[in-house]
Amino acid sequence: MKTLDVVATLREYPEQRIRKGQVGTVVEQLDGNHVLVEFANLDGIAYAILPIPAEHLIQLKHTPTIPSA
């Protein structure tokens, strides 16, 4: 995952009020396994910024992926 990728969580982080499936944006690559994800409301106001293991996220795609031949 890279900066500005849109992702969804695969698990809950109840202490930060983040539920499974919550959508956020990667704002920084921390190391080979963790990214910093910002969660914001529909007005663009951030309500949580968390370091999350990449394996606990799924990258969301807005356009179809064409398989290579």
pLDDT tens digit at each of 69 positions of the chain: 899 999 999 999 999 999 999 999 999 999 989 999 999 999 999 999 999 999 999 999 888 777 776
- Tokens representing 7 are 């992702």
H/E stretch holding 40 = strand 34-40
Integer Cα distance of 30 and 24 in angstroms: 16
CATH of the structural domain 6-59, one choice from 1.10.540.10, 2.30.30.40, 3.40.190.10, 3.30.365.10: 2.30.30.40
Determine the pLDDT at residue 69. 62
Q: Give me the residues paired with residue 40 across strands.
A: 46
Q: Structure pTM? A: 0.86
